[in-house]
Amino acid sequence: MVSEHSEDLAQLLALLDVERVSDDVFVGQHPEQKTARTFGGQLLGQGVVAAARTLTRGTPPIHAVHAHFIRGGDVNKPMEYRVARFRDGKSFANRQVTAVQDDSEIFTMLVAFQDNTAGLEHAVQVPQVPYPEELPPLGEHFKGFEDRIATFVNALHPIDIRFANDPTWKAREAGEKLVDNRVWMRADGRIPDDPILHVAALCYASDTTVLDSVITTHGLSWGIDRLFAATVNHSMWFHREFRFDEWMLYATESPVAAGSRGIGSGRFFTRDGTLATSVVQEALIKYFPPKS
């Protein structure tokens, strides 16, 4: 059983509860733990909630989001989310969400809703990895690396993360090159039954570890090697319903890196092996090797 919720999860749920200031405009806050720029997962999660709160005929399931990151957000200022209503059909609804600070667009996202109906079904098989109860919590992986990966250690941790392989910093220390990464995730406590909150929390988490394979393919690590990364775009497809306060396996790999950009693709499986969500993220990634 998970606890009711951790303090960090409570903070995430508060962040996702964007404030409505007019019919189609919402304001989202930043967490107390400051980072260099707004975390992409926060923009995704808050944007999804803003879009869903403008629906006029209930809340059909979200089936896809497609986001483009335009510039880094200022973590010391609130974020304004402006929603454009593109369609409210019988089975479909579409929204565009634009995040704005100081009249500058930070990010824009298309959110599509569709009622689920019966049809053809198939999916790839879930990778075989140890169950999360057999794996150490994230904090165990920080030990001995606190100074070198302080950004991660001091970040908000609303998600319970269990690596089925070494995280980037341990893989590098061991001289490993990993072409894929397998990570169990769930909210660090209970999430209310609202399905939109589960989707929003998963969106938040999906921006974590998805790019790891871009660098572990080359034996590199965040926080240790001189790397610069900035998300360019992020897409998600929601195939089946899920609860994100239950364990899900995030299986990711990187099919390509070229032109100073890398792609991470991932799949979220429920504990019983059901493929629930697919993710693709592209990021600008630059590596500055040590001078010889």
Domain residue extents for the chain: 7-115+135-287
Dist. CA 5–CA 10, nearest whole Å: 6
Closest CA to 64 of 97, 123, 122, 111: 111
Dist. CA 9–CA 201, nearest whole Å: 9
Asked if the 7-115+135-287 domain carries CATH number 1.10.1060.10, the reply is: no
Residues in CB range of 263: below 8 A, 6 or more apart: 214, 254, 255, 256, 257, 280, 281, 282
Provide the whole-model pTM.
0.95
33 among known catalytic residues: no
Catalytic residue (choose from 46, 231, 252, 270): 231
Long-range contacts of 126-134 (CB under 8 A, 24+ apart): 126/249, 126/251, 126/269, 126/273, 126/274, 126/275, 127/180, 127/182, 127/249, 127/251, 129/164, 129/182, 129/184, 129/249, 130/164, 131/184, 131/247, 131/271, 132/160, 132/162, 132/184, 132/186, 132/247
Catalytic residue (choose from 8, 188, 207, 245): 207
Q: DSSP state, 5?
A: B
Q: What pLDDT score does 3 carry?
A: 47
What string of pLDDT tens digits covers the 292 residues of the chain? 344 669 999 999 999 999 999 999 999 999 988 888 999 999 999 999 999 999 988 778 999 999 999 999 999 999 999 999 999 988 899 999 999 999 999 999 999 999 888 899 999 999 999 999 999 999 999 999 989 999 889 889 999 999 999 999 999 999 999 999 999 999 999 999 999 999 999 999 999 999 999 999 999 999 999 999 999 999 999 999 999 999 999 999 999 999 999 999 999 999 999 999 999 999 999 999 988 7
Q: What pLDDT score does 4 carry?
A: 60
91 neighbors 38 (Cβ within 8 angstroms) = no
235 neighbors 264 (Cβ within 8 angstroms) = no
Q: What pLDDT score does 237 carry?
A: 98
29 among known catalytic residues: no
281 among known catalytic residues: yes
